[in-house]
Structure 1
Amino acid sequence: MRTHKPAGMARWRRSRRPRVNRGFTTLTLGLFVVAAGIGAYALRNVPRGAVISGHARVIDGDSLRIGITDIRIQGIDAPELFQRCTREGQEVACGREAARQLTQLIAGRPVTCERRDIDRFGRTVAQCHADDVDLGRAMVASGHALSYGGYLQEEARARSERKGVWAGEFIRPREWRDRARSAPGS
């Protein structure tokens, strides 16, 4: 003989899971997200003259990241990461070479950067050092970056000694970026 359960009985059973106040949980999570966003914004937009230091991760030949702050090294322009150059008739990954050179200059040491400006992409523009090595000066002197004006003597020497990009033919990074932007499908 079957017993008949009244309709809707299953709805009234108590769950064994603890009851969660969804409103409180949503509010707490929302406040956490807002606080994290404000903190990230404050760390990204450090004031002029502020010093940012710590372990740096190289992004490309003229950019790095310390914590969550993207930094463009002031006064230089290095080949873009995927930019290629020609040396002795052969294509060379000069953008990757520039990134490797910056990585070698840092050599795992802490990097200290003094903020000078913010570029149009929202990155901090800063003069950076690894110990007593001025990273911008060293990149230009090795021929892996061009000077934006502050390191003209180093650029002239690298060019005359045919170092880095000066050892072959290359398109200036700014021109390369302009061409890449105007290429069909970009």
Structure 2
Amino acid sequence: MFTESFPPRLSRTGLIAGAFFLCALAPPAAKGWSGRDDGQPAIISGIGHVVDGDTLDVGLTRVRLEGIDAPEIAQTCKTATAESWNCGRAAAALLRRLADNQEVTCDRKGNDRYGRALATCFVDGADIDEAMVRAGLAWAFVKYSVTYVGIEADARKARIGVWQGQAEAPWDFRHNEWQVAETSAPSGCAIKGNVSSRGRIYHMPWDPWYDSVSMAAGRGKRWFCSEQEAIAAGWRAASPN
């Protein structure tokens, strides 16, 4: 359990209201990261259950919001006065306010390499992918899409969210955490496959509880070199909540 923390420049009610009002003005356009697979539904709809700042379950489908990348749950950023704040938890908290237990409709663009649907998602017609970027709590994921580059530029100019001070792009954060973890992992395979009362769960190096997971021999624990390998072996991702 954690206490939601927002940086001083973000008000809870104003952030949500402003994000919905502004993103409702723009058309729901986005470019996919991969082609739509045959046999998969073009539209996904259902009640939203948020996983982190850019991932949620819509009904029974795990959806990765297309074209954005939010800070990881364990990630911190800096305010204008160089104070640390938990931007990763703030991003997840905002997405919860936007989509948790709401009727969500998603325009599916394809699947990512982990089998998650890639989609632009809407609540009451508002693009929640855009709302996250506009609030300064997600980056435009330019490696895969330029859809939200202009929205990110507006957030940078307003110096809100991650743009009020120093912040590391989440893809750089993940890369750096992996490099640190692989120095002590066998053969550089840095994903921890844990076995507990909750089942077989794998932890990425940037997960909040990664360092607390002991990999002492026994009980079926093992290391993985990739998420695909862990999933294929029957492990599931750790929930950041």
TM-score of the aligned structures, taking structure 1 as reference length: 0.71
Please, what is the CA RMSD of the aligned residues? 1.7
Instruction: Give the distance between the partners of 1:97 and 1:47, measured in 2 at CA.
Output: 36
Q: 1:112 aligns with which of 100, 105, 109?
A: 105
Written as runs of structure 1 = structure 2, the 5 A alignment for 1:93-172 is 93-106=86-99, 108-148=101-141, 149-172=146-169
Q: Percent identity?
A: 39
Q: Which runs of 5+ in 2 are unaligned?
A: 1-36, 185-189, 191-241
Cα 1:46/1:113, change in 2 over 3 Å: farther
Q: Return structure 1 stretches of 4+ with deviation > 6 angstroms.
A: none
Q: Is the 8 A contact 2:50 2:100 kept in 1?
A: no
Q: Is the 8 A contact 2:43 2:105 kept in 1?
A: yes
Partner of 2:85: 92
Deviations, residues 60-102 of structure 1 (Å, cap 9, x unaligned): 1111012332100011011011111111222111000001111
Q: Is the 8 A contact 1:48 1:116 kept in 2?
A: no
Deviations, residues 1-54 of structure 1 (Å, cap 9, x unaligned): xxxxxxxxxxxxxxxxxxxxxxxxxxxxxxxxxxxxxxxxxxxx8845521111
Task: Find the residue that maps to 1:122 and give its secondary structure.
Answer: coil
Report which of the two has the higher share of helix: 1
Task: Find the residue that maps to 1:79 and give its secondary structure.
Answer: coil
Instruction: Give the distance between the partners of 2:99 and 2:62, measured in 1 at CA.
Output: 16
Written as runs of structure 1 = structure 2, the 5 A alignment for 1:173-184 is 173-184=170-181
Q: CA deviation at 1:120?
A: 1.5
| Structure of greater Rg | 1
Q: CA deviation at 1:107?
A: 5.8
Matched pairs, number: 142
Q: Is the 8 A contact 1:73 1:136 kept in 2?
A: yes
Q: 1:61 aligns with which of 36, 40, 53?
A: 53
Q: Which runs of 5+ in 1 are unaligned?
A: 1-44
Q: CA deviation at 1:109?
A: 2.2
TM-score of the aligned structures, taking structure 2 as reference length: 0.56
